[in-house]
Amino acid sequence: MVSLDDRELYINTDKSGMRVQIHGLPGQCKSAWEKALTFNLPSDYSDIDKVVILGMGGSAIGGDLLKALTSTLSRPLVVVNREYDLPAWVDSKTLVIAASYSGNTEETLSSFTQALDKQCKKLVISTGGKITSIAAAKGIPVFTIDHVSQPRAAIGYSLLPLLAIMQRLGFIEGKSEDVETMVALLEKLSRNWQEDVPVSTNKAKTLALKLNGKVAIIYGAGILTDVARRWKTQINENSKAWAFFETFPELNHNAIVGYHFPAGAAQNMFVTMLRCPELHPRTQIRYTVTGEVLKENSIPFEYVDSEGSNPLSYLMSLVLLGDWVSYYLAMLCGVDPTPVPVIDFLKNRLAETK
């Protein structure tokens, strides 16, 4: 039987060192924020009313979280585009940010190339690759990611530069204190959830044990909608396991009706409901009532609450917890969290068709 308190487990299974990346998230956030605050932006980039972030997978999640954090602003409207094609409404009042960790993501390259023919403002966030070469040839600003990892492990560089750019352009202000508070919180939480903290006092290990052998269903709402997406994708990629996410209040209009069939399927599910104080009061009630429905249908579930005192901390505390949970679930499944060979296979097969 696998023991999450066995130090040898991490040495033997996590051969690529994903735990080092998770440990380093607080410092990564701090470095990304500080670098972005000194990044030069053209003066006319503040003359926008829309931001379109092009990206896929781990490169897109920062855009999702930025969208959540700026949802109360009157402008700009933040949109995340996970498509080959650029939205037709992109115009001179739009800032298009192409976020590709590798710089070679084909969907992002496709939509970014289309943006070159538009009068929109343009920016690239990447480590290098084709997209950086294109940007350099066109005189487009490039924010270079100084972090070596899988794209999903670079979430600090996925979110914090975007947040800093919004502050630099004058759409938000005073976020340095929120970032400092968030980084300190993540440092504390990571110490609480790291691998040498026993199951008996480790929230992340305990939840991973409950998810082991189950299909993970993640529920979120409001600013936590894309945190739920993050949990789902981390369980997919780190744990190599099935996972899905749903959002309130929409799931109360359909998902709760489907708890009955196929017969016996519910016992193979585990629902995790992510909560934070920022959610609408009526949505908070929906969480409670949905828990009652899950209990009536004998479906195992758990409420998981955020930590911290501001929206950025709410989001990132749950992101960090999800990363640790997916990591421990990988250990229980006996898989190295870092490699994603099936994605590499798919990319190679797609390359053959060009």
- Taking a C-beta distance cutoff of 8 angstroms, is the pair 293, 259 a contact? yes
pTM tops 0.95, yes or no: yes
**CB within 8 Å of 344: residues ≥ 6 apart:** none
Position 354 pLDDT exceeds 90: no
Q: In what order do the strands lie in the sheet with 243-248?
A: 243-248, 215-221, 269-275, 301-305
Is-same-fold flag (7-16+187-333; 18-173)? yes
Position 136 pLDDT exceeds 80: yes
Q: How far apart are CA 284 and CA 13, in angstroms?
A: 39
Give, in words, the CATH class of 18-173: alpha beta
Locate the domains of the chain by residue range. 7-16+187-333, 18-173
- What is the pLDDT at residue 31? 98
Residue 269: pLDDT band (50, 70, 90) is very high
Residue 216: pLDDT band (50, 70, 90) is very high
- Taking a C-beta distance cutoff of 8 angstroms, is the pair 244, 211 a contact? no
CATH architecture, range 7-16+187-333:
3-Layer(aba) Sandwich (3.40)
- The residues annotated with a catalytic role in the active site are 237, 253, 347
Q: How far apart are CA 68 and CA 317, in angstroms?
A: 15
**CB within 8 Å of 6: residues ≥ 6 apart:** none
Residue of 311, 226, 331, 324 lying closest to 24 (CA atoms): 324
Stretch 151-168: mean pLDDT: 98
Helix (H) or strand (E) holding 183: helix 175-193
- Taking a C-beta distance cutoff of 8 angstroms, is the pair 204, 325 a contact? yes
Q: Categorise residue 196: left if φ over 0, alpha if ψ from -120 to 50, beta otherwise.
A: alpha
Torsions phi, psi of 254, nearest 5?
A: -160, -55
